[in-house]
């Protein structure tokens, strides 16, 4: 069996280095080659769809997807390519349906039966659902609306009633809205704001997730970086120190600190314990190669701490600030290929 591993990229986007590749792609290619595996980077183009498919099917044993969905103009065609490759024996890292299952914001809604996600977390797939349910959810307290598309906090809104004593919000209720992209504040009436949010629901993979705002986000978001089922590190992302700041992106001024998984033993142990259930609830696919889970501290009724899952990402998690991880990634890729080959003997 051929041992070539194909890395998929796409031209353009602000995630590329001077050589045109993502900064963390070539280190993985080189690490595989040092271990006796050949590797190749292919830029996906719709016009070369069939040519790429035939080349990978003929020459490769596995692919690794390194495409930021925000840079991909033909997502459905690309996912179709990946799905077809997986169906014909190519090892997907990850499988496109795992990408959707773990990466889509509504993964949270599928996990409300676990201790990781609040029960009053909803997904709005239809505009009518937003108008029907969001006002009553807002009446219970501050909310966070998250669009399924975009990144770096765009289309993620912290929403609260200006009059916190208002029991039955209506389209004329005054609301305060803070966007995670840069923590800027806007004041709206509820009706026009919901109309504005319709754009997040319309179109392919459109949806809005609605969950309670967790005030302890000001203490920091805790990002667990995973290689398959192995915790690699924990990034503690503390929002900027200002009144309305809740975004944990670098762009918004958050401060990052890198910790070992051992320093967050309670969080890591609890998450790994629930991982088999999470995998089953999200479709039963193999875990993604490189993925993250973001947590926010909350307080239980007895005063103890708990960790709430805010989102997961697996489409194209970068590690450009820790390129030495490329060696661990290469080892994991080889483990996956070896396990697959042994299971088919």
Residues 101 and 311 sit within 8 Å (Cβ to Cβ): no
By percentage, how much of the chain surpasses pLDDT 70?
Answer: 94
Please report which confidence band the pLDDT of residue 343 belongs to, taking 50, 70 and 90 as the band edges.
Answer: confident
Domain layout of the chain by residue ranges? 4-94+322-343, 122-213, 216-319
Please report which confidence band the pLDDT of residue 71 belongs to, taking 50, 70 and 90 as the band edges.
Answer: confident
Give the integer Cα–Cα distance in Å for 8 and 69: 12
At residue 101, the pLDDT reads 87
pLDDT digits over 130-182, tens only? 999 999 999 999 999 999 876 677 899 999 999 999 999 999 999 999 998 88
- Please check the confidence at residue 233 and state whether its pLDDT lies above 90: yes
Going by DSSP bridges, is the β-strand pair 39-43/4-9 parallel, antiparallel, or unpaired?
parallel
Give the C-alpha distances (Å, rounded to integers) separating 238 from 49, 50, 155, 290.
42, 45, 20, 23
Residues 309 and 224 sit within 8 Å (Cβ to Cβ): no
CB-count burial class (<10 Å; 0-12, 13-18, 19+) for 126: exposed
Give the integer Cα–Cα distance in Å for 304 and 62: 45
Stretch 196-217: mean pLDDT = 93
At residue 1, the pLDDT reads 44
Contacts of 263 (CB under 8 A, 6+ apart): 234
Torsion of CA 194, 173, 179, 182, to 10 degrees: 140
At residue 25, the pLDDT reads 97
Both tokens of residue 143?
């909310």
pLDDT digits over 82-116, tens only? 999 999 999 999 999 999 888 888 999 999 999 99
The string over 284-300, giving b where at least 16 C-beta atoms fall within 10 Å of a residue's C-beta and e elsewhere, is: ebbbbbbbbbbbbbeee
pLDDT digits over 41-53, tens only? 999 999 999 999 9
Give the C-alpha distances (Å, rounded to integers) separating 15 from 71, 241, 284, 291.
9, 27, 30, 17
Residues 230 and 332 sit within 8 Å (Cβ to Cβ): yes
Please report which confidence band the pLDDT of residue 246 belongs to, taking 50, 70 and 90 as the band edges.
Answer: low
Residues 209 and 122 sit within 8 Å (Cβ to Cβ): yes
Within 210-302, residue ranges assigned H as helices are 265-281
Establish whether domains 4-94+322-343 and 216-319 are of one fold. no
- Please check the confidence at residue 40 and state whether its pLDDT lies above 60: yes
Tell which residue, 104, 132, 135, 137, has the closest CA to residue 121: 137
pTM of the model: 0.89
At residue 250, the pLDDT reads 54
Tell which residue, 201, 214, 290, 198, has the closest CA to residue 248: 214
At residue 2, the pLDDT reads 54
DSSP string for residues in 126-137:
SHHHHHHHHHHH
Give the integer Cα–Cα distance in Å for 12 and 54: 24
At residue 253, the pLDDT reads 66
Give the integer Cα–Cα distance in Å for 179 and 20: 31
At residue 345, the pLDDT reads 59
Q: Which CATH architecture is the domain 4-94+322-343 placed in?
A: 3-Layer(aba) Sandwich (3.40)
Residue 233: φ, ψ to 5°: -160, 175
What does pLDDT average to over the chain?
A: 92
Residue whose tokens read 């193999």: 286
- Please check the confidence at residue 329 and state whether its pLDDT lies above 70: yes
Please report which confidence band the pLDDT of residue 327 belongs to, taking 50, 70 and 90 as the band edges.
Answer: very high
Give the integer Cα–Cα distance in Å for 10 and 77: 13
216-319 classified as CATH 3.30.470.20: yes
């Amino acid at each position: 069996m051929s041992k070539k591993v194909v890395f998929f990229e796409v031209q353009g986007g602000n995630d590329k280095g001077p050589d045109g590749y993502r900064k963390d792609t070539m280190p993985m290619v080189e690490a595989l080659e040092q271990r006796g595996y050949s590797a190749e980077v292919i830029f996906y183009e719709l016009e070369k769809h069939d040519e790429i498919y035939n080349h990978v099917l003929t020459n490769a044993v596995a692919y690794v997807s390194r495409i930021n969905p925000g840079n991909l103009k033909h997502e459905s065609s690309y996912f179709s390519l990946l799905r077809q490759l997986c169906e014909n024996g190519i090892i997907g890292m990850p499988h496109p349906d795992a990408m959707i299952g773990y990466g889509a914001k509504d993964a949270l809604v599928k996990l409300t039966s676990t201790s990781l996600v609040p029960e009053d977390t909803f997904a709005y797939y239809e505009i009518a659902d937003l108008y029907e349910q969001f006002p009553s959810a807002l009446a219970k307290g501050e909310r966070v609306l998250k669009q399924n598309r975009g990144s770096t906090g765009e289309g993620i809104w912290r929403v609260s009633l200006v009059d916190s004593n208002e029991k039955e919000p209506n389209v004329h209720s005054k609301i305060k809205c803070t966007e995670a992209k840069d923590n800027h504040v806007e004041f709206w009436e509820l009706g026009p704001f919901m109309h504005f949010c319709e754009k997040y629901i319309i179109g392919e993979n459109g949806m809005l997730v609605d969950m309670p705002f967790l005030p302890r986000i000001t203490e920091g978001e805790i990002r667990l970086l995973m290689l398959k089922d192995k915790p690699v590190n924990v990034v503690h992302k503390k929002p900027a120190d200002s009144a309305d700041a809740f975004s944990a992106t670098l762009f918004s001024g958050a401060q990052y600190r890198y910790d070992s998984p051992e320093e967050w033993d309670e969080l890591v142990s609890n998450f790994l314990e629930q991982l088999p259930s999470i995998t089953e609830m999200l479709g039963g696919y193999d875990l993604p190669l490189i993925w993250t889970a973001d947590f926010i501290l909350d307080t239980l009724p007895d005063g103890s701490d708990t960790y709430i899952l805010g989102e997961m990402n697996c489409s194209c998690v970068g590690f450009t600030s820790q390129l030495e991880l490329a060696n661990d990634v290469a080892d994991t890729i080889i483990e996956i290929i070896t396990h697959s080959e042994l299971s088919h003997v």
